Amino acid sequence: MRKSRKSYDLDFKKKIVAEYISGTTPADELARREGLERFQIYAWKTQLERRGKVERFEELTNQGHNPDDVRRIMDLEEELEAAKAKIADLTLANDLLKKIHPSFQSEKRSSGYAELRAKVTRSKGRAR
């Protein structure tokens, strides 16, 4: 005998996905607590992201933009979000490196080429 599929309303899905995205509760724990399968949370996340894109598309077209411009706007928005995420990752990595090497901030040397050249020049003078 096959289990009947349970239907969940949009607000419930949004609540579960928001909790998952916030990082406070892992998907396994959320699924266990709510009596769901873990894959459902991932599927809902994807479903809500798609729904958000469709709503954004409709919002922009209703504002009078033509569909080609709307697609370009949405592509640029995605690019901007990716750039923001990259900047956040690099900032985090930079902060971690500063913590690992605290004296690194005070060292204003570039590649060390000038210092190496000076040492070589001094050593050449001694060899003669």
Q: Return d(Cα 42, Cα 38) in angstroms, integer.
A: 7
pLDDT of residue 128: 46
pTM of structure: 0.60
Smallest Cα–Cα separation from 41: which of 3, 14, 22, 4? Answer: 14
Smallest Cα–Cα separation from 29: which of 12, 16, 10, 47? Answer: 16
Indicate the domain borders of the chain: 10-104
Sign of the Cα torsion 48, 51, 55, 56 reads: positive
Which tens digit of pLDDT belongs to each residue from 35-93? 999 999 999 999 999 999 999 999 999 999 999 999 999 999 999 999 999 999 999 99
Flag whether pLDDT at 7 surpasses 60. yes
The three-state secondary structure class of 36 is coil
